């Protein structure tokens, strides 16, 4: 091997090494077959290109041009009648044979279905998932919830769950804000599909409404205003939703999160989209656990 070849392969090695280092630094599993095949492909590109082109460039140093010239000559350019380079010819033949094999034997054209492959992938995953999370602890649920939250919810609620200064629900400041509660008292609500059905608007006015809102937004601490009685009928004296018949208005519990994810919600802040069918029950539970931990 000469210096040029060594330099070339060194370059290829550095490139591959850097790629693997960066990929690894993102916690990526290189034993995943797709990732693995891609890395092998990348190695092949670098090594083959460098190797083969340097092989020919080396011939510029060592070989001499020779052969029988053709009769024609175009603007001073001649042409030898040399045979095909053997490596090239056999590789060409090889790829052709491989192609025919692929079509008729390996992966016959009519026998592969990408949707079939997808279904298998999902099935295998779901089995594994059930297996692993049969009895997940709250800590695990919280961690899992956080990871789902960062991917699915953070674009609106922010990475910390603070609602991006009023663009969505702020989970770090307890349940509903005073404005939200006032809005609901005024307009009522009929979106979440609780057993209790709709909440009518206008059940409290003026100073009463203010007092209730203050109290609810404050997490229902301290002295309960007398006017809260009207709310307690549905939400319970403790505000926890009467065993799931109306929303919990003091904290994010699992029932609430499930209802919100199923139906979405439009309120004083804006619109929360429905995630119907996009998250599994375990994932919803995990989200509820995580949201509960944010305040």
Partner 1 sequence: MQSNAALEYDYSVAKLFTYTAILFGILGMTIGTLIASQMAFPELNYLFGEYGTFSRLRPVHTTVVVYGFTLSGVWATFYYLGQRVLKVSMAESKFLMFIGKLHFWLYFVGALVATISLLMGITQAKEYAQYEWPIDIVIVIIWVLWGISIFGIIGIRREKSLYISLWYYIACFLGVAMLYLFNNMAVPTYFVSGMGSILHSVSMYSGTNDALVQWWWGHNAVAFVFTVPIVAMIYYFLPKESGQAIYSYKLSLLSFWGLMFVYLWAGSHHLLYSTVPDWMQTMGSIFSVVLILPSWGSAINMLLTMKGEWNQLTENPLIKFMVLASTFYMLSTLEGPIQAIKSVNAIAHFTDWIPGHVHDGVLGWVVFMVMAGLFHMAPRMFKREIYSKKLLEAQFWLQTTAVVLYFTSMWIAGITQGMMWRAVDEYGNLMYSFIDTVAVLHPYYAIRALSGVLYLVGFLMFAYNMIKTMSSSRELTEEPQFRSPMA
Partner 2 sequence: MFHWLEKNPFFFAVGVFIVIAFAGLIEILPNFAEASRPVVGLKPRTVLELAGKNIYMKDQCIACHSQLIRPFKSETDRYGQVSLSGEYAYDRPFLWGSKRTGPDLHRVGNYRTTDWHENHMWDPTSVVPQSIMPAYKHMFTNIADIETAYAEAVTVKKVFNTPYDQPNGTKLGTWEEAQKAALEEAKKITADMKNKDVKDAVANGQIPEIVAMIAYLNALK
Residue ranges binding partner 2 (CB under 8 A): 114-115, 117-118, 121-122, 125, 151-152, 155-156, 164, 167-168, 266, 270-275, 278
User: 274-293: which residues touch ligand HEC (CB under 6 A)?
Assistant: 275, 287, 291
CA atoms within 13 A on the CB side of 280: 11
Q: Which residues of 97-116 are buried (b: 16+ CB within 10 A; e: fewer)?
A: eeeeeeeeeeeeeeeeeeee
- For residue 209 the two structure tokens come to 């409404």
Q: Virtual CA dihedral for 216, 222, 228, 233, nearest 10 degrees?
A: 90
Cα angle value 116/117/119 (rounded, 5°): 65
Q: How far is the CB of 44 from partner 2 (least distance, A)?
A: 23
> Which of the listed partners (partner 1, partner 2, ligand HEC, none) does 216 bind, with a CB threshold of 5 to 8 Å by partner kind?
ligand HEC
- For residue 207 the two structure tokens come to 């100073």
Instruction: Please report the DSSP string for 30-55 in residue order.
Output: TTSHHHHHHHHHHHHHHHHHHHHHHH
Name the DSSP letter for residue 70. P
User: 132-171: which residues touch ligand HEC (CB under 6 A)?
Assistant: 152-153, 155-157, 168-169
Q: How far is the CB of 51 from partner 2 (least distance, A)?
A: 31
Closest CA to 176 of 290, 272, 267: 267
With CB under 6 A as the contact rule, the residue among 12, 212, 250, 286 that binds ligand HEC is 212
130 touches ligand HEC (CB under 6 A)? no
Q: How far is the CB of 68 from partner 2 (least distance, A)?
A: 15
Q: How far is the CB of 123 from partner 2 (least distance, A)?
A: 10
Neighbouring CB atoms inside 10 A of 150's CB total: 13
Q: Virtual CA dihedral for 159, 161, 165, 166, nearest 10 degrees?
A: 130
- For residue 221 the two structure tokens come to 């601490």
> Which of the listed partners (partner 1, partner 2, ligand HEC, none) does 295 bind, with a CB threshold of 5 to 8 Å by partner kind?
none
> Which of the listed partners (partner 2, ligand HEC, partner 1, none) does 45 bind, with a CB threshold of 5 to 8 Å by partner kind?
partner 1
225 touches ligand HEC (CB under 6 A)? no
173 touches ligand HEC (CB under 6 A)? no
294 touches ligand HEC (CB under 6 A)? no
With CB under 6 A as the contact rule, the residue among 144, 161, 235, 292 that binds ligand HEC is 235
With CB under 6 A as the contact rule, the residue among 196, 224, 251, 253 that binds ligand HEC is 196
Q: Virtual CA dihedral for 242, 246, 249, 251, nearest 10 degrees?
A: 70
Using CB atoms, what's the residue nearest to ligand HEC?
267
C-beta closer to ligand HEC: residue 46 or 215? 215
Distance in angstroms (rounded) separating the CA atoms of residues 170 and 87: 66
Site residues (vs ligand HEC, CB under 6 A): 152-153, 155-157, 168-169, 176, 180-181, 184-185, 189-194, 196-197, 199, 203-204, 212, 216, 230-231, 233-235, 246-247, 249, 252, 256-257, 260, 265, 267-273, 275, 287, 291
């Amino acid at each position: 091997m000469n210096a040029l070849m060594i330099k070339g392969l060194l370059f290829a090695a550095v490139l591959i090494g850097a790629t693997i280092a960066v990929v690894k630094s993102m916690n990526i599993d290189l034993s995943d077959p797709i990732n693995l095949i891609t890395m092998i492909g990348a190695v092949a590109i670098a090594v083959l290109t460098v190797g083969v082109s340097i092989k020919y460039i080396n011939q510029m140093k060592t070989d001499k041009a020779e052969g029988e010239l053709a009769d024609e000559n175009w603007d001073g350019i001649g042409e030898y009648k040399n045979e095909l380079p053997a490596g090239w010819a056999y590789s060409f033949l090889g790829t052709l044979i491989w192609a025919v094999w692929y079509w008729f034997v390996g992966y016959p054209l009519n026998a592969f279905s990408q949707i079939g492959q997808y279904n298998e992938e999902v099935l295998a995953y779901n089995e594994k998932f059930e297996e692993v999370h049969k009895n997940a602890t709250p800590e695990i649920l919280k961690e899992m919830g956080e990871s789902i939250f960062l991917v699915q919810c953070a674009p609106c609620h922010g990475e910390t769950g603070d609602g991006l200064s009023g663009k969505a629900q702020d989970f770090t400041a307890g349940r509903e804000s005073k404005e939200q509660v006032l809005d609901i008292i005024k307009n009522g609500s009929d979106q979440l599909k609780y057993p209790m059905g709709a909440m009518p608007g206008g059940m409290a006015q003026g100073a009463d409404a203010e007092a209730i809102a203050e109290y609810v937004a404050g997490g229902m601490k301290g002295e309960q205003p007398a006017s809260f009685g009207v709310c307690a009928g549905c939400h319970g004296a403790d505000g926890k939703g009467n065993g799931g018949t109306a929303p919990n208005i003091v904290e994010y519990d699992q029932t609430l999160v499930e209802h919100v994810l199923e139906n979405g919600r439009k309120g004083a802040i804006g619109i929360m989209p429905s995630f119907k069918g996009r998250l599994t029950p375990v994932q919803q539970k995990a989200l509820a656990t995580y949201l509960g931990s944010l305040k």
